[in-house]
Amino acid sequence: MVVAVAAVSVLTVFRPGPIPGAASTAPGVRYWDLPTGSRIAYVHAPAAGTARPTPVVFLHGGPGTPGEGIPAAGRTLAAEGFEVYAYDQLGAGRSTRLSDVTGYTVARHVADLEAIRRAIGADKMVIVGQSWGGSLAAQYLAAHPEHVAKVVFSAPGALWPGALPGGAGEPWGRLTPAQRERYDELSGAPRMLAAFLLLGVNPRAAHALVGDDEADARFHELALVGKDTTSCPGTPPRTPHENRQGFYVNQVTSADFQRVPDPRPTLRRLRVPALIMRGECDFLRWETTYDYRRTLPESTLVYVKGAGHAIAGDQPATYTALLEHFLLDRPLPLPAYTSATPPR
């Protein structure tokens, strides 16, 4: 009996599951072939009228959780004269998957963003980072401050994981019983469980066992289980898109992020204007957000009521107004939040 169960388990682990077809290429998607070796999918909203000298580049979260199309506020900023770009980071969406997954590092993401700056011919950029995109924006800012005109951190992830021994915060505690059951079913599937376990000891072996197409499809399903748990209660569910998550870039980059040097000593010396947005219902710990405010000397923190982790999705009008006013040097539509403690 034990032999029979073991045989079934082995067959289950080594037999690939059904893989959904890839998402079709959305209208307007183009590609940069960067000198880093990355082929990066992107969308571009051209400036209306006289273009401003600083393009706006949106960085999605994850790592490995791309958006689809021009982000919220992008069209408004383009109408104000900004060239607007959003791209799928390495290993996610329609961009390159690496054959050697150990190449998914924070340094590689920073190098890609610097190559993108050169590709669009910008001396300085405005960077808008959501969640992990905020963490990446901070890493780029520390490495290339001379090329950042302004930076926006929307519900940013950890500035430096070493400052948060309890973790930055996670959304899975908000799952309903039915969602938890589905989450456990997906994450505990034999092949995905084997990939998770192998990643800790041999990422290349994990990748050889479960390839990108299968891993990304399953990871995308997993993310969809909790897609509406990051908003305030009662928020209408959002329609998901099919620009797939990247499993290996998420896992390997997240592990590498734990090893990066502390960027805060460098960031404390910079005078780059920064806007930090915190949603009322964000699952991230307050300390995660406030670390940006106390580190960046030219930063302003605003508190957005009725918004969770995806401020652009939960309160799009407020999000757009904040970006527009910040980039155009107008008074912000929300007051600066100055206390070191969260609102009560």
- What's the domain range around 263? 30-169+258-327
- For residue 62, being part of any structural domain is answered with yes
- Of 180-194, 271-285, 306-320, the one with minimum mean pLDDT is 180-194
For residue 1, what pLDDT is reported? Answer: 41
For residue 5, what pLDDT is reported? Answer: 29
Residues 6+ apart with CB under 8 A from 10: none
Question: Per-residue pLDDT averaged across 123-140, rounded?
Answer: 98
Q: Assign 9 a pLDDT band (cuts: 50, 70, 90).
A: very low
Q: Is the pLDDT of residue 14 over 60?
A: no
- For residue 252, being part of any structural domain is answered with no
């067959």: which residue's tokens?
11
Q: Is the pLDDT of residue 174 over 90?
A: no
Enter the tokens of residue 33.
């072939």
- For residue 157, being part of any structural domain is answered with yes
- Of 1-5, 206-210, 215-219, 286-290, the one with minimum mean pLDDT is 1-5
- For residue 340, being part of any structural domain is answered with no
Q: pLDDT > 90: what percent of the chain?
A: 77
Helix or strand run (H / E) with residue 275: strand 274-279
- For residue 241, being part of any structural domain is answered with no
For residue 10, what pLDDT is reported? Answer: 39
Give this prediction's pTM. Answer: 0.93
Q: Which residues pair with 115 in a beta bridge?
A: none
Tell me the three state secondary structure of residue 298: coil
């010396």: which residue's tokens?
269
The total number of structural domains that make up the chain: 1
User: pLDDT higher for 331 or 178?
Assistant: 331
- For residue 197, being part of any structural domain is answered with no
* CATH code of the domain covering residue 308: 3.40.50.1820
Cis status, amide bond into 63, omega within 30 of 0: yes
Enter the tokens of residue 297.
């000397």
- Of 34-43, 85-94, 229-238, 269-278, the one with minimum mean pLDDT is 229-238
Q: Assign 19 a pLDDT band (cuts: 50, 70, 90).
A: low
- For residue 135, being part of any structural domain is answered with yes
125-130/148-154 β-pairing: parallel
What is the DSSP code (8-state) at residue 302?
E
For residue 204, what pLDDT is reported? Answer: 97
CA distance 302 to 313: 17
Q: Assign 237 a pLDDT band (cuts: 50, 70, 90).
A: confident
- For residue 214, being part of any structural domain is answered with no
Q: What is the pLDDT of residues 90-115, one digit of tens each?
A: 999 999 999 999 999 999 999 999 99
Nearest to 311, CA basis, from 102, 184, 128: 128
